[in-house]
Amino acid sequence: MHRAPALNFLLVTVFIDMLGLGLIVPILPALLTSVTDDPATAVLWSGILGSTYGVLQFALSPLLGRLSDRYGRRPVLLVSLICLGVDWLAHASSGGMWVLLAFHALAGACAGTDTVVNAYVADVVEPEGRARAYGRIGAAFGLGFVAGPVLGGLLGAVDVRLPFLVTAVLCFANAAYGWLVLPESRPGDRVTPLSLRMANPVTAITVVLRRPVLGRLTWAKLCADVGRMIHQSMWAFFLTVHLLWSTAHVGVVMAAGALSGAMLQAWVTGPIVRLLGDKRATVAGGVIGAVSYLGMAAASSPWMVYTAMAVGTLGVFGGAAAQSWITSATGPDEQGTVQGALTGVGAMAEAVVPVTAGVAFGGLLSYGEPGLLFAVAAVLTASSALLHATTPATRLPEPRLQQR
């Protein structure tokens, strides 16, 4: 199997993706304010841009996954990288919000990086080694999250558009590198059917949900993702508004947590999953995550927050184990299709959860109990662990349903 440079390229791709997002996080408000000349309008446009990206990713991720099954992973991945680079280049040069919206919509429609990376790993890594590979990808994600905001802040101090230009250059360089060195993991079969039915994201997701094993794993992933997004979107607000932490304190703790999580994902995921197997490792990671969220719900001091974060970091192997389990239950000729559907499910949740959690947080804050939101995240994560625990373990692809 093609292990290098394929896996190294995937790690670089994920790192650059997250580095690019991190680069623009501290600068995006300033850029949008400079374009709109009004902070309130900038906030509104920020929400519109994010929602548009998420909606189009939800709508087209299943189709991109299907295309990667039919025509190969490499062309879909390279197109995704180029479209993302064009989007960041538009941010660096455009003076109008409608132009930004058009290019950001294009990037959302072509956002197939996660789908193809996960399918590519399933193509080139034996089932026994997939959890370790997905752990390394998670580590690259975490390292990009740590480095991005720091570098973005430094570049933004020079010019507000410079981080976007640097991000665009990184995307184009990554696409060029992939064009030159990335081998195709699945040449495609040209017989995988493309139809309007399977291009419909609702239908594509429904087909996956109807599968006895994959359906349960998808519902479990959705529960875990919603719990994680509740935590991610409200964590900083909880610390700054309820516990009165400074933004510097929040930033340092966030970076330390991301760095430690990345290191553990890279080093311990493989050994733990080899010891426990995909199913038990997934369940254990979910239980640890639920305990961590409960600790955050009850946190009233810095040390309680640190303890809850440390517990959560210990369970980072669960996501990689779950992803490995999903690929083991999927046939080699439909990895892209299933991963595209999962990306669509995640995009839908990412578009809905932050807004819903924000409204709930505001209401709970008025009663002095914003920590209850993390208890909800704990219940969802525990529900995911229960679904995983009651799903049959398998390393054999389950029979596909008819997808005419």
Who wins on pLDDT, 292 or 234? 292
Give CA–CA dist 91/101, Å, rounded. Answer: 10
Type and span of the H or E element at 210: none
**pLDDT digits 0-9 by tens, 171-225:** 899 899 889 888 888 877 766 777 767 678 888 889 899 999 999 999 999 999 9
| Residue given tokens 């699945």 in the structure block | 186
Where are the domains positioned within the chain?
Answer: 6-179+197-389
Give the separation between CA 87 and CA 215, rounded to whole angstroms.
34
d(CA 65, CA 58): 12
Give the Cβ contact number of residue 385 at 10 Å.
22
Positive or negative, the CA dihedral 190, 195, 200, 204 is: negative
Two tokens, residue 365: 């804050």
Q: What confidence score (pLDDT) does residue 5 get?
A: 60
Architecture of the domain defined by 6-179+197-389 = Up-down Bundle (1.20)
> How many angstroms separate the CA atoms of 209 and 339, rounded?
12
Q: To which H or E segment does residue 302 belong?
A: helix 302-314
Residue 160 has a pLDDT of 81
The helix/strand/coil state of 367 is coil
Report H helices in 72-200: 73-93, 97-109, 113-124, 127-158, 162-181, 196-199
Residue 396 confidence class, pLDDT cut points 50, 70, 90: low
Judge whether residue 94 has pLDDT over 50: yes
5-9 average pLDDT score: 78
pLDDT one-digit tens code per residue, 323-375: 999 999 998 888 998 999 999 998 888 888 887 888 888 888 888 888 999 99
pLDDT digit string, tens, across residues 278-307: 999 999 999 999 999 999 999 999 999 999
Name the residue with tokens 């996956």.
Answer: 208
Phi and psi based region of residue 37 (left: phi greater than 0; alpha: psi -120 to 50; beta: remaining): left
Of 83, 88, 109, 84, nearest in space to 31 by CA: 88
State the Cα–Cα distance between residues 109 and 112, nearest whole angstrom.
8
Q: Looking at residue 2, what is its pLDDT?
A: 47
CA 241/CA 280 separation, integer angstroms: 38
DSSP 47-58: HHHHHHHHHHHH
Phi, psi for residue 390 in degrees, rounded to 5? -100, 10
